[in-house]
Structure 1
């Protein structure tokens, strides 16, 4: 079971979610997304809480809330979580400790906690399928961007070739386009008419 909350449902931002127990936490660790930020109360047994950011947002765009007073909350991007086979279920480490931040939360803000609890929804998501769908969409987007890039490059190459052709002299002296004096004389035009045609 995974619990979902909305930070500010009136503006539709930030989905917050957490597992019921360490087994759900394990699944959340395994199938997180790059937009997920992981939170945990430091040095205490507590839930793993995730905030899913919108595309383009960073960890600096979020603010914190809490249920108890005087706690340190550590947080880091999901991609920084490290899981090794020797770790207990639900236990994590970090790839880069410099990416882990800590915030001291002095006082519980009941307004925030109450607002979050009003949005609480319990679901049994297929986290693996969600992750695969996101990966598939990202691959399709990268393929489309690559196709667009190749198309732009081909158009640029064709335009460059066209401009080179315009600026080159090789098309000026082509025998098929030339008219000889004999051909001009055979047209039965007067010299004055030929001069007018030329001008």
Structure 2
């Protein structure tokens, strides 16, 4: 089971999701999207919370209020963290998560530590959490199928972009060719390159 939340503090709203337990977290790690950002309480056990960015956005584009929603949700779903003040929540792009065979279930590392950011959460904000809780939706998604569908759409989009680029290149080549032909034609039509029948003889003299 995966829990989905909607952060509607901005428009368009953002989707936040997390697994029910550490075993589902394994699937979320495996089948995440490049648009996903992973959140976790630093140095404490907590839920793995994901924020799905809009296509083309980066981790630096996350609106401040949306970032706060994610951090509060992570804190609220940490057995130790929910009772503490001034905790740090770390977050990083999904692509930066590193999982090896010797790691425990739900455990992850990072490919690049420099790509891991941190936000301080001073205390729990019940009003914010209640707002998110009202949007909660429990689902049993086919993560594999969703990832394959997303990747297929990306491939088709890239294919369409390549085809459009090739079409424009052909148009450009044709324009250059047409322009060159026009220049050659214009050059041939210049008066100094044209012959004339006015050679001083009247055509009637030959009759």
Matched, 1:127 2:143: yes
Report deviation, 1:87: 1.1
Q: Which residue of 2 aligns with 1:191?
A: none
Q: Give secondary structure in 2 for the equivalent of 1:84.
A: coil
CA distance in 1, matches of 2:30, 2:40: 16
CA distance in 2, matches of 1:75, 1:9: 20
Question: Which runs of structure 1 show a deviation greater than 6 angstroms over 4 or more consecutive aligned residues?
Answer: none
Q: Give secondary structure in 1 for the equivalent of 2:57.
A: coil
Matched, 1:75 2:91: yes
Q: Which residue of 1 aligns with 2:159?
A: 143
| Cα deviations by residue, 1:42-73 (Å, 9 ceiling, x for unpaired) | 11111100010112333232322423332110
Matched, 1:118 2:150: no
Q: Which moved more, 1:21-30 or 1:161-170?
A: 161-170
Q: Which residue of 1 aligns with 2:177?
A: 161
Structure 2 unpaired stretches of 5+: 77-81
Name the TM-score, length of structure 2 as normaliser.
Answer: 0.80
CA distance in 1, matches of 2:59, 2:163: 32
CA contact (8 A) 1:6 1:12 kept: no
Change (3 A) 1:92 1:159: same
Larger of the two Rg values belongs to structure: 1
Count of aligned residue pairs for this structure pair: 182
Q: Which residue of 2 aligns with 1:64?
A: 68
RMSD: 2.5
Structure 1 counterpart of 2:122, from 83, 106, 109: 106
Q: Which residue of 2 aligns with 1:20?
A: 20
CA distance in 2, matches of 1:11, 1:144: 29
Report deviation, 1:11: 3.7
Name the TM-score, length of structure 1 as normaliser.
Answer: 0.83
CA contact (8 A) 1:13 1:54 kept: no
